[in-house]
């Protein structure tokens, strides 16, 4: 996908502030029930990848950000694991294999903000899925997610760094209903152990928020059927007014 969010610019900081694991039991449970090869799209530095590899999942990882992938490769090597890693745009996905399960964690399909690119991506994903395979795609529910998008700065947290300093991350987002785009930026400030500012960076943000009806029309148009839909990572029923997430299990339509 085009680099709508240039994560490479903060690849060295990413693991210091993104270490949530609220979705990890879901992924371990889902993939523990399935056999065969798994393709993880938008794997980043391996927040999900490493636990899956340790659990014995036969995993291949793809992301568009080379610096993020380099950190993943280093972790895989350091922990004596085995994983094929590819730097590719998912709209041009070209691997010499099909996969029994394809996953798109952390709601990252929303980073494909152009409709034409979304259609291309789904076609390439379809081509890489075995006839009886499953795609698991996670999305944010716009009704819930946009409630905090007020255009104001919000503190995401202050996080310890390995050198004894701290990383402070602030974010602001606004939502344009006419385009369904959330846009804004994050500010990163690193301070040393004496609280002196040593680094400051800005990461522009932009992602697309699907409605459930829109996403379902899109995937059905591209040859998928909906096998299941959940409203959270505990697999509860999806309620459009209150569920934080839209988690889809998609299969190939039978012709």
Q: Are residues 28 and 89 located together in one domain of the fold?
A: yes
- The percent of residues in the chain predicted with pLDDT above 90, rounded, is 95
CATH of the domain at 82: 3.40.50.150
Q: Are residues 97 and 221 located together in one domain of the fold?
A: yes
Q: Are residues 51 and 124 located together in one domain of the fold?
A: yes
**Using an 8 Å Cβ cutoff, are 67 and 14 in contact?**
no
Q: Give residues with Cβ within 8 angstroms of 168, minimum separation 6.
A: 155, 157, 158, 159, 188, 189, 191
Q: Tell me how many domains the chain contains.
A: 2
**pLDDT band (50, 70, 90) for residue 206:** very high
- The percent of residues in the chain predicted with pLDDT above 70, rounded, is 98
Number of H-type helices and E-type strands within the chain: 7, 11
* Structural domain span for residue 166: 144-208
CATH of the domain at 202: 2.20.25
> pLDDT tens for residues 162-203?
999 999 999 999 999 999 999 999 999 999 999 999 999 999
Report the half-sphere exposure of 137 (CA within 13 A, side-chain side).
24
Q: Are residues 74 and 104 located together in one domain of the fold?
A: yes
Q: Are residues 89 and 135 located together in one domain of the fold?
A: yes
> pLDDT tens for residues 40-66?
999 999 999 999 999 999 999 999 999
> pLDDT tens for residues 106-127?
999 999 999 999 999 999 999 9
pLDDT value of residue 171: 97
Considering only CA atoms, which of 181, 49, 162, 159 is closest in space to residue 104? 49
- pLDDT at 13 exceeding the cut of 90: yes
pLDDT value of residue 1: 44
Q: Does residue 205 come out as left (phi exceeding 0), alpha (psi in the -120 to 50 range) or beta? A: beta
Q: Are residues 126 and 67 located together in one domain of the fold?
A: yes
How far is the C-alpha of 184 from the C-alpha of 162, rounded, in Å? 28
């Amino acid at each position: 996908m085009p680099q709508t969010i240039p994560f490479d610019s903060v690849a060295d900081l990413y693991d210091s502030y993104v270490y949530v694991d609220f979705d990890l039991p879901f992924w371990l449970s889902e993939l523990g029930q399935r056999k065969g090869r798994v393709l993880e799209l938008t794997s980043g530095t391996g927040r999900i990848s490493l636990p899956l590899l340790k659990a014995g999942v036969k995993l291949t990882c793809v992301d568009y950000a080379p610096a993020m992938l380099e950190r993943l490769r280093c972790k895989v090597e350091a922990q004596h694991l085995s994983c094929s890693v590819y730097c590719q745009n998912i709209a041009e996905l070209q691997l010499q294999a099909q996969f029994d399960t394809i996953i798109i964690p952390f709601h990252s399909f929303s980073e494909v903000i152009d409709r034409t690119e979304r259609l291309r991506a789904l076609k390439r994903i379809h081509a890489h899925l075995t006839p009886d395979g499953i795609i698991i795609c996670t999305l944010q529910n716009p009704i819930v997610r946009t409630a905090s998008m007020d255009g104001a700065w919000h503190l995401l947290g202050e996080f310890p760094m390995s050198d004894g300093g701290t990383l402070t991350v602030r974010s602001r987002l606004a939502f344009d209903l006419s385009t369904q785009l959330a846009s804004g930026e994050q500010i990163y400030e690193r301070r040393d152990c004496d609280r002196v500012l040593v680094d400051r960076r800005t990461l522009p943000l932009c992602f697309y928020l699907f409605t459930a009806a829109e996403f379902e029309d899109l995937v059905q148009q591209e040859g998928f059927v909906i096998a299941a839909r959940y409203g959270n990572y505990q697999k509860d029923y999806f309620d459009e007014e209150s569920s934080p997430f839209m988690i889809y299990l998609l299969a190939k339509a039978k012709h």
